[in-house]
Amino acid sequence: MERVVLITGANSGIGLALCERLLTEDSQLRLCLACRNMQRAEAARSALLTSHSNAHVDLLQLDVGSVQSVLSAAQEVKARYNRIDFLYLNAGIMPNPQLDLNAFFKGLFSRNVVRMFATAEGILTQQDRLNSDGLQEVFATNLFGHFLLIRELEPLLSRLVWTSSSNARRSAFSMEDMQHREGRESYSSSKYASDMLSLALNRQKNSQGLFSSVICPGLVMTNLTYGILPSFFWTLIMPVMWLIRIFTNTFTLTPHNGAEALHWLFLQNPESLDPRAKYHSLTSGLGTNYTQPRQMDIDEGASDVLYSKLLELEKEVRRKLSEENADEEISAVK
C-alpha cells in the first residue's frame, strides 16, 4: 500500500534532505511538502523529481505560524488523503539570533567547550515578536501551529516526528510564560516545549495508536544556521567547522547527515521507541552517520500541564477567529 508522508518546512535544509532520503528508501511513497512559499515548494518538488523521476510529490500551502493557514491546510489534507502514515513536524525559525562573543570565547577555554558546540547553551539569544494572531512568532511556528495541525488531523495520524534541538533547555522554558514573551531564548523554550508535548502526546494517545518522537539533527549548515553570523564569517570559519567535526559527532553539518534520525525513525516500529528519549543524528569523524537515543530532562506531570494549557489556548484562538469571521460577514452584508 502507498504510504503518505507529510513534511512541514520541506522546501529547504533538513526537511528537503529528508524528502530525498525517504524517496531513495521507498520510491512508492506519496510525499506531501507542506510549505509557506509555493515558489520555493515548486523548486523543491522539481529538485526531487530530477533525482526520482517517478516519485509522487504533492504540494500543500501551509504557513504553520498562522492559525487560519493551518486550519485551511488541514481541511485540504482531509479532502486529499484518507490517512497520513508519518507527519514530520520540521518547520522552524530562529529570528534575529545574537551570538554572545564574550561568552563564546570564555566557553572556548572552559570545561564546557564540547557542550557549548553541541547545544549553544549560554551563547545564543533571539529577539521574538507578536504575529498577526497575537501569539509569539517562535512559539506559534515551532510549536503551536504544529499542535493545531495535529489536533485537526488526529483521526488520520499514526506517527509524529518533531525536529527538536539539543538547544532545548528546561531553564529556558516557563509554564507561566509558555510563549516566552519575557525572555530572550524563545528558540530554546519552543524546542523544550515540543519535547514536552511529544511526551504528553505519547501519554495521552499511545493507546489510540498515535506515537510521537523527537530528534535533534545536530549542527547543520542550513538557512537557519547561516542566519546566525554574516556570510563572510561563515566562509572564514568553514574549514574550522570541518576540523571540529572530526572531534565532535554532533557536527553533522550537511542536511543529509542531519536527517539521519528522521530517516531512522521512519524504519522503526513505534512500540520499540522510548517516549522519553530524543533521537540524535550523529556523524563520526570518519563520516559515518548513526542515530543515538539520549534521555530528555522532562517531567511527565509538567508535560500534561503543558498539554492542557495548549488545549485552552486552542479554544481561545478558535473563539477569537470565529468572532473575527462573524464580524467580517456582518461588515460584508452592510
Ligand X SMILES: NC(=O)C1=CN([C@@H]2O[C@H](COP(=O)(O)OP(=O)(O)OC[C@H]3O[C@@H](n4cnc5c(N)ncnc54)[C@H](OP(=O)(O)O)[C@@H]3O)[C@@H](O)[C@H]2O)C=CC1
* Of residues 153 and 219, the one with the C-beta less far from ligand X: 219
* Of residues 163 and 202, the one with the C-beta less far from ligand X: 163
Find the part of the chain contacting ligand LBM42IJL (CB under 6 A) among 23-31, 43-51, 61-69, 117-125.
117-125
37 binds, among ligand LBM42IJL, ligand X, none (CB under 5 to 8 A by kind): ligand X
264 binds, among ligand LBM42IJL, ligand X, none (CB under 5 to 8 A by kind): none
> Kind and range of the H or E element at 89?
strand 84-89
Q: Counting contacts by CB under 6 A, is residue 69 touching ligand LBM42IJL?
A: no
163 binds, among ligand LBM42IJL, ligand X, none (CB under 5 to 8 A by kind): ligand X
Q: Cell numbers of 326, please?
A: 462573524
Q: What's the CA gap between 16 and 267, in Å, rounded?
A: 18
* Of residues 139 and 307, the one with the C-beta less far from ligand X: 139
Report the residue closest to ligand LBM42IJL, judged by CB.
165
Distances (CA, A) of 37 to 59, 60, 61, 221, 265: 10, 10, 7, 21, 27
Q: Counting contacts by CB under 6 A, is residue 228 touching ligand LBM42IJL?
A: yes
Grid coordinates 542550513 are at which residue? 222
Angle between helices 186-205 and 145-153 (to 10 degrees): 20
Distances (CA, A) of 65 to 21, 87, 138, 147, 309: 26, 17, 8, 11, 18
14 and 258 Cβ atoms separated by less than 8 Å: yes
CA angle, residues 308, 313, 319, in degrees to nearest 5? 130
Q: Counting contacts by CB under 6 A, is residue 237 touching ligand LBM42IJL?
A: yes
Q: Is 279 helix (H, G, I), strand (E, B) or coil?
A: strand
Q: Counting contacts by CB under 6 A, is residue 32 touching ligand X?
A: no
90 binds, among ligand X, ligand LBM42IJL, none (CB under 5 to 8 A by kind): ligand X
From the candidates 81, 88, 187, 226, which is the catalytic residue? 187
* Of residues 69 and 252, the one with the C-beta less far from ligand LBM42IJL: 252
187 is catalytic: yes
Distances (CA, A) of 316 to 2, 97, 115, 304, 310: 38, 30, 39, 19, 10
Q: Cell numbers of 153, please?
A: 488531523
Q: Counting contacts by CB under 6 A, is residue 99 touching ligand LBM42IJL?
A: yes
Find the part of the chain contacting ligand LBM42IJL (CB under 6 A) among 137-145, 193-201, 237-245, 306-314.
237-245
The contact set with ligand X (CB under 6 A) reads 8-9, 11-15, 35-37, 40, 62-65, 90-93, 141, 163, 165, 216-217, 219-220, 222-225
The residues annotated with a catalytic role in the active site are 187
